[in-house]
Amino acid sequence: MTDKLQRPGARAVAANGWLASYQWLLLRRIMQAVVLLLFLSGPWFGLWIVKGNLNYSYTLDVLPLTDPFLLLQALLAGKTPERNALIGLAIVVLGYVVVGGRNFCSWVCPVNPVTDLANWLRARLGIRGGAHISRATRYWILAATLVVATATGTIAWEMVNPVSMLHRGLVFGMGFAWAVIVAVFLFDLFVMRHGWCGHFCPVGAFYSLIGRFSLLRIRLPARAACDDCMDCFAVCPEQQVIRPALKGIAGAPPIILDPNCTNCGRCIEVCTKDVFGFGWRTSSTESK
């Protein structure tokens, strides 16, 4: 049991082979790298595809993309953005309403590989326990950032936001931002499992609100086949999202509807019973 918890996915590797057991993880890493390279090809090779950073970017001089959380803070600080920022806002919000807000966290955010590494190392080193703080803390922090933006008239969270700090650091020059990222890494490694992304980050919290009614979901078409091996719980960065859908608690449909599911797909590939799969949230199965 202990061994299984520490090495989740071992059964999947034995049953389906290595590649099939890590396909979504590999895809995510490739996606994260591609996103970063699109931003870096300009400053590194003079090939300008995407300008800016995750806060606001302009692709091939036609496509604006705006971070909705950041723009909301600017609005609360009393500032009216220009047209491109609003177009970018609409595109990003619509996109994440379709694919799921926290897709940002697992497929785009540069902090994800850092905290994933911390979590992997934590399991490898057998580090257990640590602080117990509610996962709802992120919403409190989110509220606090909005209050502070309103009260001070500044986008205060940007002073400390590890997400934009790391991405800006990689694209525009790191400075001491690395220290903040190391702090997040060490916190997740020693103090709290899935600490930053799973409990505190207001960026992720905001994206979860956008993805509240999103269409792309993890579905559990074969949830009856579950043999309680617990591998999906072990790999899931937001464990609380699985149980209602898997166990049908309070008549829950076999779809993960919790907005904090990041659609990372790890549960799909570690399950040897093929319980999980990507699918659309459709009303026909929801009513089941």
Identity of the residue, 125 or 143, whose beta carbon is nearer to another protein in the bound complex: 143
Distance CA 170, CA 54 (A): 11
- Work out whether 176 is an interface residue with another protein (CB under 8 A): yes
- Work out whether 165 is an interface residue with another protein (CB under 8 A): yes
Tell me, residue by residue from 97 to 136, as one string, x for binding to another protein by CB under 8 A and - for no binding. Answer: -------------------------------------x-x
Identity of the residue, 126 or 173, whose beta carbon is nearer to another protein in the bound complex: 173
H/E stretch holding 219: strand 216-219
Smallest distance from the beta carbon of 207 to another protein, in angstroms?
Answer: 16
Angle, helix 83-99 to helix 202-210, in steps of 10 degrees:
70
Whose tokens are 């980050």? That residue is 201
- Work out whether 277 is an interface residue with another protein (CB under 8 A): no
Distance CA 4, CA 225 (A): 19
SS3 call for 81 = coil
CB 6 within 8 A of CB 12: no
**Sole window of 61-69, 114-122, 204-212, 237-245 interacting with another protein (rule: CB under 8 A):** 61-69
Residues binding another protein: what is the number (CB under 8 A)? 58
- Work out whether 12 is an interface residue with another protein (CB under 8 A): no
Residues 92, 109, 111, 148: which binds another protein (CB under 8 A)? 148
Strands 56-59, 216-219: pairing kind:
unpaired
- Could you give the C-alpha distances from 206 to 12, 56, 140, 194, 252, in angstroms and in order? 33, 16, 11, 17, 24
Q: Tokens standing for 189?
A: 């490694």
Tell me, residue by residue from 177 to 216, as one string, x for binding to another protein by CB under 8 A and - for no binding. Answer: x-xx------------------------------------
Smallest distance from the beta carbon of 200 to another protein, in angstroms?
Answer: 9
Total length of the chain: 288
Tell me, residue by residue from 14 to 43, as one string, x for binding to another protein by CB under 8 A and - for no binding. Answer: ----------------------------x-
Smallest distance from the beta carbon of 174 to another protein, in angstroms?
Answer: 7
Smallest distance from the beta carbon of 133 to another protein, in angstroms?
Answer: 9
Alpha-helical (H) ranges within the chain are: 2-6, 10-16, 18-21, 23-45, 68-76, 83-99, 103, 111-124, 137-152, 162-172, 177-186, 195, 202-210, 231-235, 242-247, 266-270, 283-286
Q: Which of residues 62-91 bind another protein (CB under 8 A)?
A: 64, 66-67, 70-71, 74, 77-82, 84-85, 88
Interior angle at CA 135, CA 236 and CA 216, nearest 5: 50
Strands 56-59, 50-53: pairing kind:
antiparallel
Q: What is the DSSP letter of 134?
A: -
Identity of the residue, 90 or 160, whose beta carbon is nearer to another protein in the bound complex: 160
Identity of the residue, 51 or 273, whose beta carbon is nearer to another protein in the bound complex: 51
Q: Which residues bind another protein (CB under 8 A)?
A: 42, 48, 51-53, 55-58, 64, 66-67, 70-71, 74, 77-82, 84-85, 88, 134, 136-137, 140-141, 143-145, 147-149, 151-160, 164-165, 168-169, 171-177, 179-180
